Structure 1
Amino acid sequence: MDNVTGANLGFEKEIFDAADKLRGNIEYWQRFLMPKLSKNPKQVVNHMFFKDSPKTRLLLQDNTLNMENLSNVDITGIRLDHGEDIKDFAFHIKDTITINPDESKRDNGYEGKIFLLVDEDVFSAAEGFAYFVKNTEFATIVGTKTGGDGITLGVINSVFLNSGLVFTCTNTLGYDPTGQINEENPTTLDIEIAAYRQSIEIIENMVKN
């Protein structure tokens, strides 16, 4: 994820460029980036569902995931788009992501305006950052519609028996805090602008004014 600053322009802003970042590592934004910039705690609650399979049952061996049998979970109070499809799933995780400010320094946090640039190539870990930013109002999101698939435990790697070709697929049906499937309903924009250079110019004008 690139960082474009406005210090040389005489005003305070941070622009984080996630455009063209196909994937990445959630550890970077969860454990380093947002704790350094946040002044207050931020939290988002997602719901993840999984179908029964040998590979899914391997996940059950990780006790830190708090995965439950769906039959033991009351989801009637949770708003879920296409909730009728959940009957085909076997397991559930309530995924609470909490970001606490890094208070190791007295001047922790960032006081200026923050912008996040995105486009259709933003998905996986980069999308996870984008939708977290959107749902916590941490930054203004600028660009074009993202690719989604940011609420997931990763991908499953499998092999075609005849050809030996390896393929991957997501292992999670991930719902964001609004009850929408993130892969079908990627992060919505605050400002939709197709041209990268135009995005930078509009951000600069917004901050100056």
Structure 2
Amino acid sequence: MIGMYTPLKIRRSKNHQRGFTLVEMIVSLGLFTVLVLSVTGALLSMLDANRKATAIRASMDGVNFALDDISRNVRTGWNYTCISTEDTNTSTLIAPTTITACNTLATGGGIKVETSAGTMEYYFNPPSGTTFGVINKGFRDNDGTASYAAVRLTPEDVNITSASFYVMGNNLVGDGLATDQPRVFVSITGTSGGKQQLQSTFQLQTLSAARIPGGQP
């Protein structure tokens, strides 16, 4: 007896023949777009933070240079006096036990220090309108034969909003020694970074003491 062979018919599911539906495509593209936007936003935030950090670092380097210049001349100088503006010769020595806030004597305020190289003047010009506040530095020969125009000591993209100079235990004239070691305290507040989105507020302070308590070497 010869058996009969009946071939099997394979039915293909319609689900295997169709592609993505429009809804699936929209969902996939939406998820991909969200992912790309998230990564791009994170990258832009990192770049913005890096620009701000770079701008702040550059500005603060300039401010630190100004404070270092003041401290260096205070340490090696003598006869600290308070001044209100550049080229002031009417200031008197501060008593050894007196703490004087130079900025209370006049608008701005500053100090004058005698050094072996000449007389250094540091004073604060407050901000006015769109003009930034600055710390200026003036210089004159000790014998008074020559003086030089003051120069800006702080960076152009830094706005010094307030600056305070304090003189403590200043040197005595004559042969006597100061009862306290002369010191100068400087406090500076301002904003760094020229553009609004890069600005950052800072406050720096420094205290410097004279290496020669008895006055001029």
TM-score range, shorter chain: under 0.3
**Higher relative contact order, chain-length normalized (CA < 8 Å, sep 6+):** 1
Bigger Rg, structure 1 or 2: 2
